[in-house]
A and B are shown apart, each in its own frame.
Chain A
């Protein structure tokens, strides 16, 4: 069965600094990969997704992620963060071993400081 590991539970960073939120997954077959964001007191929304094709995926709000099959990773990056990026970020995987159900990681809380 697929699983997702988000290596950092919290990431504090200063405004305008770059950030990387790490995600590793476990799956033996082709996967679909996602990053979702949950802003304070709001519902989850999709940031970006990888289904196939180019391994570098661009999403909303200047975020991007790179699919690395050999390292089974899908790290999320942004070159310069804003205060408004403070939120919880969830990595998710969907693959055929689980009937393509979507499984989420434990989440990473990004805290952007002025």
Chain B
């Protein structure tokens, strides 16, 4: 595709529900990231996929968060039993290779009521 595509753009959910956020990276990009941006906060690293290597999950804040990347392309970030503190913009980014610039999606604004 022309850019990194994220869906949905907005998601409102109730506390305790599960949500799935989708990221479609640029074709051919081997690296894929998930970040979280909260109001007034920087970009918090969540998880990193690089090619066929095991993902770096060191940024996931709790075991309620998980992500997978199927076929080296599309990725899904799942948040189980959502809490109000999970409310944030979830950004996906991809890059062609190590050290290359990241291309960001427009993000998913998650609101947990």
A residues with a Cβ closer than 8 A to B are: 1, 6, 32, 34, 36, 43-46, 49, 51, 90, 94, 98-107
Contacts of B104 in A (CB 8 A): 43-45
In the complex, how many residues of chain B place their beta carbon closer than 8 angstroms to a beta carbon of chain A? 22
Contacts of A51 in B (CB 8 A): 99
Quick check: B42 and A105 within 8 Å, CB to CB? yes
Known: A43-B106, A99-B50, A100-B50. A94 touches B43 (CB 8 A): no
Quick check: A32 and B35 within 8 Å, CB to CB? no
B25 within 8 A of A: no
In chain B, residues 11-59, which have Cβ atoms closer than 8 Å to a Cβ of chain A? 33, 35, 41-43, 45, 48, 50, 53, 56, 58
Contacts of A99 in B (CB 8 A): 48, 50, 53, 56
Residue of A nearest to B53 (CB): A99
Q: List 7 A–B pairs whose Cβ atoms lie within 8 Å, in order of A's numbering.
A: A6-B42, A44-B102, A90-B43, A98-B56, A99-B48, A101-B50, A104-B35
Residue of B nearest to A1 (CB): B58
Residue of B nearest to A109 (CB): B40
In chain B, residues 55-113, which have Cβ atoms closer than 8 Å to a Cβ of chain A? 56, 58, 91, 93, 95, 98-99, 101-102, 104-107
Known: A43-B105, A43-B107. A104 touches B43 (CB 8 A): yes
Quick check: B42 and A49 within 8 Å, CB to CB? no
Closest CB in chain B relative to A23 CB, distance in Å:
12
Quick check: A107 and B42 within 8 Å, CB to CB? yes
Q: Which among A44, A90, A106 has the highest number of chain B CB atoms within 10 Å?
A: A44
Quick check: B101 and A100 within 8 Å, CB to CB? no
Closest CB in chain A relative to B31 CB, distance in Å:
8
Quick check: B101 and A104 within 8 Å, CB to CB? no
Distance of A105 Cα from B44 Cα, bound (Å): 9
Residue of A nearest to B45 (CB): A103
19 additional A-B residue pairs with CB within 8 Å, beyond A32-B99, A44-B93, A44-B104:
A6-B42, A34-B101, A43-B104, A44-B102, A45-B104, A46-B101, A49-B101, A90-B42, A94-B99, A98-B56, A99-B56, A100-B50, A101-B45, A101-B48, A101-B50, A102-B102, A106-B42, A107-B41, A107-B43
